[in-house]
Amino acid sequence: MNLAAAITPDLVAGHGLRPAEFDSIVQALGRDPTLVELGIYSVMWSEHCAYKHSRPLLRTLPTRGERVVVGPGENAGVIDIGGGLCVAFKMESHNHPSAVEPYQGAATGVGGILRDIFTMGARPIALLDNLRFGEPDAPHMRHLIEGVVEGIAGYGNCVGVPTVGGDIMFDPGHAGNILVNVMCVGLVRTEHIRRGQAHGPGNAVLYFGSPTGRDGIHGATFASGELSEEALERRSAVQVGDPFMGKRILECTLELIERGLVVGIQDMGAAGLTCSTCEMAGRAGTGIEIDLDRVPQRAPAMSAYEILLSESQERMLAVCEQTRLAEVLEVCERWECGGVVIGQVTGSGRVEVHHRGEVVASIPANHLTHGAPVYHPPEAAPAAPEEFDLPPVLPGEDFKTALLALLASPTIASKRWAYRRYDHMVQIATVLRPGDADAAVLRLPGPGEPRFLAVTSGGNHRLVARDPRAGAALAVLEAARNLVCTGAQPLAITNCLNFGSPERPEVFGQLRRAIEGIAGACRALDIPVTGGNVSLYNESGGVAIPPTPIIGMVGLIEREEHITRPGWREPGDVIYVLGDPAAGLGGSELAKYLVGGDLPGVTPRGPLPPIAIDREVALLDAVRSAILAGLIRSAHDVSDGGLAVTLAECCLLSRGGHGAWIHETPDGDLALTLFGELPPRVVVSVRPADARAFEALISARGVACAEIGLVGLPGLRCADQAAISHSEMQQAHETPPWESLR
């Protein structure tokens, strides 16, 4: 590539910059940018880094709370959980890399989110993955599924962080653009929290970790007219992760932070060296000067453009005082991370880059990080879903057929085929494992009585597609319900907003409504959003994916006896359904199943039943109060597949193999009662001796409470419907998705 290339309008457009953005750059620099500078701006002002379309919307999210230590804008959010301990957590997407190269895409997604967490000074203790695929019957999709799951396992297992949760859904709407979202949770002592800020002019800027190669260099580069064969070949150079190096930079970073040797530290993720230098200087209001000739390089003869925009994995940038430099280098050496000083902090407010004796870029840091324009694109209200008639009451055999079919459907069926490949026990703190409960529960370190952290992540895009505002609020409420059902108090959320192009009015309409829904639910629950990620332009063949906001939530369990599981405990326990009766089948798994043609006139669309958030909050409060009062033996949230699937799961998760006899269903329409998913409900079981006290506690909170049956012999018997044996349910539920589709 010709570095002295004239900056033509085509080249600017090829870098994804609009004419008005280019004018702003020329104004800030007082001249035309060099090609290197154009590349830097292209990356820093991309949606991924600058949130050009989403920033005003994200500002409406509630981010404050008494526990919030670090809010949005840093590498990860941090909340205080008492006892001098804080939780750092964040979620990121790696959708496009995983679609191209599933194994490495997913693996480097895990590596990237781990760096975000340990960069804050926190030791990663858990990973969660939210995956969205097309229907698993296509051979190419099977290849993507296998690759992504192996990639997650390959990185997470090697680096020694347990993968404890997440969700997997299959939908034709994600076939052309799969989603791979990864969340990481870490623990940090309050005094060790570090920020990605380059303070103190004169301080050394240090590079450590893997050398820089030509990996994942920004695609915009190649839109310029000077493509050689060689360059085309390079473009496909995907990032390859090295979990063992990941582990070394993790330990090196934590030691540097715990010994107080660094002033600020930042990982090199998207846009690598460019992003990390600009952001560190921008946040601190300082400048940074670096010399690319000192950057360790894997490939010969790399240009300044390539070095700056490389996305090679497992690289870190640290700022330290000159007097501590020798100690810092000793730590890097010991962890075999090869520390090199590549520059220094300046007071100039500029990011200045030298290469082969020339200044190849000199940009005001603040303009790069805060000067990106904000767009308010036109929006359109999403189309209202079609109405459909409720299916008639299911006759006996149909109930059994429908339930077994739903248990075996790829989205509902056990995800054992995936999580059995993940190490979920490493670090030996996992109390509730994947598949055990609605959320994972981890034991917290520390003296005294043990405390526990509950973590969950998910989001049902089918609901969001029908009603973005209500659907996104429901994703927050479901995450909270998952935590509450394990006995935890929800504390804070992170999120990953996966949408199509914001330049489509209907997509921007979805995005705005979804963010409003998240904000509304968080305010009602009084929990903050401490950070997150926006992944836009998820499209293929000109069609956007269904709007898919994923919510990650962390909660605290103060006492061991509050940990609650979903499985039945003892025969004779009374089974209750808490919450308002099901009000519709729109967006339900049953509706999806019925499209197969079993009942004519039913379409998968259909509006969501109305949701009253304050009633959902009351439900959560009631369940949590009953758990704290020791009145609940088991609790399980009603979600995909409705009450019938929830009851089946309570049977399957019963350690004693107990079943349920459901003698009564709260209202008339059996299909609606058993398979309706909304409004949200919770199934609990209670000792007969506690039944009165339990009912009184729930009723006092104005929450509907219906006794529907008893825990009993194995299997599920529902009123006058055909009984279903434990093994029939187990076989349906444990079948991997591709086998059920054969």
Residues annotated as part of the active site:
48, 94
* Closest to 503 (Cα-Cα) out of 373, 372, 377: 377
Shortest spacing between CB 231 and other proteins, in angstroms: 11
Shortest spacing between CB 684 and other proteins, in angstroms = 49
Going by C-alpha positions, the residue among 486, 621, 510 that lies closest to residue 562 is: 486
CA distance 206 to 506: 45
Q: How far is the CB of 101 from other proteins (least distance, A)?
A: 4
Instruction: Using alpha carbons, list the distances in angstroms from residue 95 to 72, 99, 181, 315.
Output: 22, 6, 7, 21
The conformation of residue 559, written as its DSSP 8-state character, comes to S
Q: Which alpha helices (DSSP H) does 173-271 contain, by range?
A: 229-235, 243-258
Structure tokens at 115: 């760096």
What ranges make up the beta strands (E) of 469-623? 489-498, 529-535, 539-540, 543-544, 548-557, 574-578
Task: Please count the residues of this chain forming the interface with other proteins, following the rule CB under 8 A.
Answer: 22
Residue labelled with tokens 């808490």: 578
Shorter beta-carbon distance to other proteins: residue 177 or 286: 177
Rounded Cα–Cα distance for residues 130 and 482 (Å):
15
> Which range of residues in 12-20, 96-104, 524-532, 560-568 is near other proteins by CB under 8 A?
96-104
Residue 362 CA to residue 352 CA, distance in Å, equals 4
One residue of 132, 195, 214, 726 binding other proteins per CB under 8 A:
214
42, 95, 104, 224: which one binds other proteins (CB under 8 A) = 104
Binding mask 286-305 for other proteins (x = CB under 8 A): ------------xx------
Query: In terms of CB distance, is 232 or 612 closer to other proteins?
Result: 232
In order, the DSSP letters of 371-418 are ----------PPPPPPP-PPPPPPPHHHHHHHHHHHHHSTTTS--HHH
Residue nearer to other proteins on the CB measure, 231 or 583: 231
- DSSP state letter for 53: T
Bridge-based pairing of strands 548-557 and 489-498 is antiparallel
Query: Looking at beta carbons only, is 233 or 614 nearer to other proteins?
Result: 233
Q: Which is nearer to other proteins, 236 or 323 (CB)?
A: 236
Min CB(237)–other proteins separation in Å: 4
Instruction: Report the residue from 98, 210, 414, 498 that binds other proteins according to the rule CB under 8 A.
Output: 210
Nearer to other proteins, 242 or 436 (CB): 242
Q: Which residues of 240-279 are buried (b: 16+ CB within 10 A; e: fewer)?
A: bbbbebbbbbbbbbbebbeeebbbbbbbbbbbbbbbbbbb
**8 Å CB contact between 433 and 424:** yes
Binding residues among 502-541 for other proteins as defined by CB under 8 A? none
> What's the closest the beta carbon of residue 90 comes to other proteins, in angstroms?
24
Task: Rule CB under 8 A: choose which of 101, 436, 616, 649 binds other proteins.
Answer: 101
d(CA 16, CA 176): 23
Name the one residue in this structure whose structure tokens are 């952001």. Answer: 279
Beta bridge partners of 92: 182
d(CA 233, CA 235): 6
- Please answer whether residues 164 and 424 qualify as being in contact, where contact means their C-beta atoms are separated by less than 8 angstroms: yes
Vertex 444 angle, CA 442 and 449, to 5°: 120
Q: Nearest approach, Cβ of 241 to other proteins (angstroms)? A: 8
Tokens of 669: 């329409």
The residues in 226-265 that bind other proteins, with binding defined as CB under 8 A, are 233-234, 236-240, 242, 244-245
How large is the C-alpha radius of gyration of the chain?
Answer: 26
Cβ atoms within 10 Å, residue 535: 23
Q: Which residues pair with 186 in a beta bridge?
A: 88, 124
Contact status: 336 vs other proteins (CB under 8 A): yes
- Residue of 77, 63, 17 lying closest to 515 (CA atoms): 63
* Nearest-approach distance from CB 179 to other proteins, in angstroms: 19
Rounded-to-integer distance, Cα 433 and Cα 436, Å = 5
Residue of 213, 391, 584, 587 interacting with other proteins (CB under 8 A): 213
Q: Which of 156, 264, 262, 272 is nearest to 210 (CA)?
A: 272
Among 47, 215, 478, 616, binds other proteins (CB under 8 A): 215
The answer to whether 197 contacts other proteins (rule: CB under 8 A) is no
* Residues 123 and 254: beta-carbon distance below 8 Å: yes
Peptide bond into 679 cis (omega under 30): yes
Nearer residue to other proteins within complex by CB, 58 or 332: 332
Q: How far is the CB of 50 from other proteins (least distance, A)?
A: 27
Shortest Å, Cβ 180 to other proteins: 15
The contact mask relative to other proteins for 614-643 (x = CB under 8 A, - = no) is: ------------------------------
Using the minimum distance from each CB to other proteins, give the nearer residue, 245 or 622.
245
For 540, half-sphere exposure in the C-beta direction (CA atoms, 13 angstrom radius) is 15
List the one residue from 224, 274, 312, 430 that touches other proteins (CB under 8 A): 312
How far, in Å, CA of 511 to CA of 513, rounded?
Answer: 6
Task: Please select the residue that binds other proteins; options are 19, 23, 32, 100, rule is CB under 8 A.
Answer: 100
Question: Of 33 and 213, which has the nearer Cβ to other proteins?
Answer: 213
Q: Which helix (H) or strand (E) holds 14?
A: helix 9-14
- If the CB atoms of residues 213 and 604 are measured against other proteins, the closer one turns out to be 213
Shortest Å, Cβ 66 to other proteins: 44
The token pair at 636 is 């399980």
- Closer CB to other proteins, 112 or 196, in the complex: 112
CB of 186 to other proteins, least distance (A): 24
Q: Which of 42, 313, 510, 634 binds other proteins (CB under 8 A)?
A: 313
Q: How far apart are CB 143 and other proteins at their closest, in Å?
A: 11
Q: Which is nearer to other proteins, 157 or 530 (CB)?
A: 157
Counting contacts by CB under 8 A, is residue 453 touching other proteins? no
Q: Interface with other proteins by CB under 8 A: which residues?
A: 100-101, 104, 210, 213-215, 233-234, 236-240, 242, 244-245, 298-299, 312-313, 336
